[in-house]
Amino acid sequence: MNNFTYSIPTVIHFGKGQISHLSELKESGSRVLMVYGGGSIKRNGVYNAAVKYMTEVGLTVFELPGVTPNPRIQLVRQGIDICRREDIDMVLAVGGGSSIDCAKLIAAGTLYDGDPWELMKDSSLIKAALPIYCVLTLAATGSEMDNSTVISDPTLNAKLDICSDYLKPKTAILDPEYTFTVPKNQTAAGAVDIMSHIFESYFTNVKGCAVQKHIAEALLKTVIENAPKALADPESYEARSNLMWCSSLALNGILSYGAEVAWCVHPIEHELSAFYDITHGMGLAILTPVWMRYVLNEGTSHDFAEYGRNVWNIGETDDMKAAEAAIDKTAEFFASLGMPKTLTEIGIDDRHFEEMAKKCVSFCEGCYVPLTEKDIISIYKKAL
Ligand code: NZQ
Ligand code: ZN
């Protein structure tokens, strides 16, 4: 296990009715920018509840609606303008990962003397941020409790991911009931995203991380148990609450501290959503089994076999056979959630593969099995 410094400062208020804790925002000032997406929070009542609890304690609420999936730098710039013009004290995201990510860069960009895209290219330029709060409505990205933001610039076909401790939310409100209205495809994509975050830490070259490994396996089993339940019964509190807590635990550092390894499936997927604006979890569902098969060899088979034995209860004693069975199970599970299996199914062909591989290859150095541009192109091709 590597050395690490544990720092998970986000306060979590988990459960029914916890939105009343929005009254605590007054600790950070009186003027809030509320950032949200395309209207789901107005349809399911979360918007009204949020505004009620903030105005009751005298907070002045400004709004930035219209965050799209794969949030855009252009909207971040608008948010920063509002924060400066209205002397905003804090930013509140109400929504999924896209709203939270947009709010995070607004919070950092407001206190940065330059264009926020510069921060996406060099996160060390972030030296401060307005306090960040969020009300999560979709179990998926882990942005509610992590130090990352992912922002796109469609004019450049670019989607960048940065980390900075200034981006960790101060408080996150996690009410599983707010996810009852998440549509099936987003519920499924969210489950795949959570599993992918777990895989990105689980498949590591750092030895001796039994704690991280076994927590990861428990989280994977929890998603595998509960995602089908949430699809069958969208208002199952049990299923939604377990998925929601998995979303946060998958990416808050508990799995990666001490077991650090560069991520690889995520950068490869981010190029797909940068070029084609697809749902992130859907891209991961297609790429993950392909990546697993691509990196499976004599050296990695034991790790995949252990995954298969501990998560899928595969009894096979031969490592290579157990590993192959585990990868098959993973692919079958994603398909059972209704996720597409190939890029062709979602209308993606090979025309940008070389450019995409060139753009993401530097992130894949230092990953579990280091990948070259040629490897990444092969993975894209095998996913067709
Ligand atoms: O925009 P609205 O109307 O709110 O609708 C959203 C959107 O259409 C809808 N939705 C969310 N909550 C809902 C709901 N619909 C009904 N009821 C609810 N309760 O779902 C759609 C997708 O929302 P979005 O926020 O885009 O989804 P998600 O949470 O999956 O976020 C995806 C973004 O996060 C990035 C992804 O790349 C993508 O840009 N990621 C962020 C990470 C991070 N910050 O740590 C890590 C991840 O790996 C990921 O890259
Ligand atoms: Zn992800």
Amino acid in the structure at residue 59: L
Query: Does residue 365 have a pLDDT over 90?
Result: no
* pLDDT level of residue 183 (50, 70, 90 thresholds): very high
Res 186: pLDDT: 98
Alpha helices (H) in 252-352, listed in sequence order: 265-276, 280-295, 301-312, 319-336
Give the mean pLDDT of 108-132: 98
Euclidean distance between CA atoms 160 and 10, whole angstroms? 23
Do the Cβ atoms of 83 and 132 come closer than 8 Å? Answer: no
pLDDT (mean) for 18-37: 98
| pLDDT grade for 108, boundaries at 50, 70 and 90 | very high
Determine whether the shortest distance from the Cβ of 142 to ligand 1 is under 6 A. Answer: yes
In this prediction, residue 93 carries a pLDDT of 98
Q: What percent of the chain has pLDDT over 90?
A: 99
pLDDT at residue number 261: 93
Instruction: Look at ligand 1, atom 7, and give the residue with the nearest C-alpha.
Output: 69
Q: How far is CA 164 from the centre of its chain?
A: 15
**Average confidence score pLDDT of the chain:** 97
For 302-327, what is the mean pLDDT?
Answer: 98
Rounded Cα–Cα distance for residues 70 and 306 (Å): 34
User: What average pLDDT does this structure show over 25-54?
Assistant: 97
User: Which-ligand-closest: CA of 70?
Assistant: 1
345: tokens are: 């199914």
Tell me the pLDDT tens digit for each residue of 244-290: 999 999 999 999 999 999 999 999 999 999 999 999 999 999 999 99
Provide mean pLDDT across the span 22-31. Answer: 98
Atom 26 of ligand 1, nearest CA residue: 69
* Protein residue whose Cα sits closest to atom 37 of ligand 1: 280
Q: Ligand 1: which of 101, 102, 276 to mutate, most ligand atoms within 8 Å of CB?
A: 101
For ligand 1, atom 28, name the residue with the nearest CA: 97
Summarize pLDDT for 42-86 with one digit per residue, the tens.
999 999 999 999 999 999 999 999 999 999 999 999 999 999 999
Nearest alpha carbon, ligand 1 atom 42: 141
CB under 8 Å to 352, separation ≥6 — which residues?
157, 271, 275
| Percent of the residues in the chain that have a pLDDT greater than 70, as a whole number | 100
Pair of tokens at residue 186: 């987003």
pTM over 0.75: yes
From the CB of 301, is ligand 1 less than 6 Å away?
no
pLDDT for 214-231, tens place per residue?
Answer: 999 999 999 999 999 999
Over residues 24-41, the mean pLDDT reads: 97
> Ligand 1 pocket, 143 CB below 6 A?
yes
